[in-house]
Amino acid sequence: MGSVLVTGAAGFIGAHLCQALLARGEHVIGLDNLNAYYDPSLKRARLAALTGDAPAGRFRFEKLDLADHEAVLALMRAHPEINRVAHLGAQAGVRWSLEAPFAYTAANVTGHLSVLEAIRRAEGRIRHTVYASTSSVYGARTDGAFRETDRVDHPASLYAATKVAGEVMSRTYSDLYKLPLTGLRFFTVYGPWGRPDMAYWLFTDAMLKGRPISLFNEGRMMRDFTFVDDIVQGVMAALDTPPADGGHRLYNIGNSRPEPLLGMVALLEELLGVTAIRELKPMQPGDVPATFADVSAMERDFGWKPTTDLRTGLTRFVEWWRRYHG
């Protein structure tokens, strides 16, 4: 069977993916640098809660920075049982890329290249690599559903630009070295164990503490909120199905149902029993007004469809929040 290498294993999506892989009997090697972009204790708690009950010997965690290409190469050499890779490790967050640009090039460009080079040097034993991209590559648009064939040469943030670079590098490596690679453009993933920099987390925290919430573009935003369990099922479906030609391909993976940001706020008010104190603010640099995924290719090639509506997903998030924060 071999093992799956999961980068970003202590991250939001990575930890959920590790749990799902372990639940179906896989051996998993998880890699993460546990950086301090947000509180590392949350990352450690994810690892403990989501993978701590794995059968002995089926999960191994390695603390490692993807930008250290020699360390990534050494890890791949040390584990010849690795035959698939789910590369989710990245520096996330649109707004912080305006403040810490070199963190993004280190993780998302150098780090991505480290993974590609390690796969290349594995001499054909990596059957398939799935890597995370983002809806942010489409830039600032309000013209309907985003399709994989749309142009992505006008990203609105450095974060998005580094993810476009990752897609281009992946296509180049696939063409040069015949590597089977699949990129998934994630659309606004949310759910239990989420990221503290995401709007739904920030709003929940502020509302329960009686603080105002910041609504950028005066709340006139649309987001294709996608529940984390749906994302993980899509990642696994893609991982299990390498490209028939051994080449490179890209897919959107989202809920395909944009929701108004103010609608999400209203749902949180209902679920939390709290009325939000709203602060209307202008659009922030790097942000986009709307996201909307055309996921017909995911359905066609993998039979994948999202199944979790926003009310159900936010209910599960709030239930988790109350348990986690006591």
Active site residues: 159
CB 161 within 8 A of CB 109: no
| Helix pair angle (12-23, 228-239), 10° resolution | 60
CA distances from 307 to 225, 236, 273, 314 (A): 12, 15, 26, 14
CB 35 within 8 A of CB 68: no
What residue type is 124 in one-letter code?
G
130, containing H or E segment: strand 128-134
Q: How many residues does the chain have?
A: 326
β pairing state of 259-260 and 222-223: antiparallel
Q: What are phi and psi of 66, to 5 degrees?
A: -60, -30
CB 85 within 8 A of CB 119: yes
Which structure tokens are listed for 306?
């999202």
Helix (H, G, I), strand (E, B) or coil at 123: coil
DSSP annotation string for 219-243: G--EE--EEHHHHHHHHHHHHTS--
